[in-house]
Structure 1
Amino acid sequence: MNAADDKTIVREYFNSTGFDRWKRIYGDGEVNKVQLDIRTGHQQTVDTVIDWLKADNNLSKLSICDAGCGVGSLSIPLAVDGAKVYASDISEKMVEEAKQRALQTLGNAENPTFAVQDLESLSGSYHTVICLDVLIHYPQQKADEMISHLCSLAQSRIILSFAPKTCALTILKKIGSFFPGPSKTTRAYLHRQADVVKILESNGFSIQRQSMTKTRFYFSRILEATRN
């Protein structure tokens, strides 16, 4: 399967059965135990990133690109705290849901600014570029291209999360436990941290902070890199 096919599958999945599933996971309604575990893990990743940004005490002065924003789990709280947020997702349904959640939370449609775009078509210049839980849908070569493009948009900082390729997670993935359940998601790709760091460094960035989110069914390495 080539990268173009992966992108098509991701778009179609999150505009159909995947939208319903992940809308529930990213919401606050009743879900099964596995979905609750993934919800908890994803929220921990979002909270870690927000804590990093708040710790710098300049969030209200930042322009932020949230690439692959989903239903706005990160974009909306960042906007609440005063950041200027440009949020995009490959899925039209995800973006529409994010807009509705932003309206309910903020009472206006001015910030965040939402758009339906794939990652490669993003343009502009932002203080901080963030891409959470997107790279898992793409193989390493495509992920490298995506990271390089995101680096080109970042004036100062880029924050990424990805499912790390370790022996334990590789075994879990092979036996079907990485994302339990039938017809559950798109193809899941694991990435070596060294490979992600290498592509960041080749684009002129250095790692500053890192963290690991680990629940029973959710695994995510978070890296923050700043421009040299």
Structure 2
Amino acid sequence: MLHYFDRTAVDAWKRLTSDAPVNRIRATVRAGRDEMRNTLLSWLPTDLHGKRILDAGCGTGALSVEAARRGAHVVAIDLSPTLVELARERLPKDLGDGSIEFHVGDLLDPTLGRFDHVVAMDSLIHYKSRDVMRVLSGLAARTDGSMVFTFAPRTTLLTLMWTVGKLFPRGDRSPAIVPVGQRKIKRRLNKGLASWHTARTHRISRGFYISQALEVVRT
């Protein structure tokens, strides 16, 4: 997965996360990601002054920038050194009272500290439900407010794409997007995370972009 995001797909991600012209398929992905980012941000408090936010799987940093502009101190982490370096290059100077601290590595690294809110946009869509649960359990131990994340919903289209993708030689594949049933993941979370409960959920489907947002809130 790291090789794909750090080398194979870097040029595509540079274009997708910029204003550069893209084909129709990537345009739907860009529009879907923009809508999803706005959705997740809308689930955070409008005023984030004094709050620590973890952007888990920050990519090129667009969500981190918007959270920082609300006053947050954002810890932005990604596995890909190339994408994090691109995020640093794109970092605007007008962050107001907020700040962004970039890291390359494991989002579960305990040295990152505690957080008021965690956002994981499209960074867990390659995980099976039990692995999503493992990651969120680790993050919950260091989060005081809410965790908002996305997963790939188990739709007919995504299940078909996942099945067909498994037929290609491993070297020719991008990391598989693993469809997860919404009821299953909510049941796992409500049962497995003490003092937490699932709250808002929202699905975005724009052409080739299909993703489901879910909010988990500390009781």
Q: Do the two structures share a fold, i.e. TM-score over 0.5?
A: yes
Structure showing the higher helix proportion among its residues: 1
Alignment match, 1:209: 200
User: TM-score, length-normalised on structure 2?
Assistant: 0.87
- Structure 2 CA distance, aligned partners of 1:161 and 1:107? 26
Identity of aligned residues (%): 31
- Structure 2 CA distance, aligned partners of 1:135 and 1:141? 11
Query: Contact 2:33/2:209 (CA < 8 Å) preserved in 1?
Result: yes
**Deviation per residue, 1:179-200 (Å, 9 max, x gap):** xxxx562122111112322333
Alignment match, 2:25: 34
Q: What amino acid maps onto 2:126 in structure 1?
A: H
Alignment match, 2:57: 68
Counting only pairs closer than 5 Å after superposition, residues 179-190 of structure 1 correspond to structure 2 as 183=172, 185-190=174-179
**Deviation per residue, 1:105-140 (Å, 9 max, x gap):** 4379x8210000122325411000111101122233
Alignment match, 2:15: 24
Query: Contact 1:148/1:199 (CA < 8 Å) preserved in 2?
Result: no
**Deviation per residue, 1:14-44 (Å, 9 max, x gap):** 1101122112111111111111110110110
Cα 1:187–1:61 change in 2 (3 A) is same
Query: Contact 2:71/2:99 (CA < 8 Å) preserved in 1?
Result: no
- Structure 2 CA distance, aligned partners of 1:105 and 1:137? 33
- Structure 2 CA distance, aligned partners of 1:106 and 1:72? 14
Q: SS at 2:43's partner residue?
A: helix
RMSD of aligned residue pairs (Cα, Å):
2.2
Of 83, 99, 117, the match for 1:111:
99
User: TM-score, length-normalised on structure 1?
Assistant: 0.84
Q: SS at 2:68's partner residue?
A: helix
Deviation at 1:62, TM superposition (A): 2.0
Q: Which runs of 5+ in 2 are unaligned?
A: 166-171
Deviation at 1:167, TM superposition (A): 3.3
Cα 1:18–1:114 change in 2 (3 A) is same
Counting only pairs closer than 5 Å after superposition, residues 71-150 of structure 1 correspond to structure 2 as 71-102=60-91, 104-106=92-94, 111-122=99-110, 123-150=112-139
Alignment match, 2:36: 45
- What is the aligned residue count? 210
Q: SS at 1:106's partner residue?
A: coil
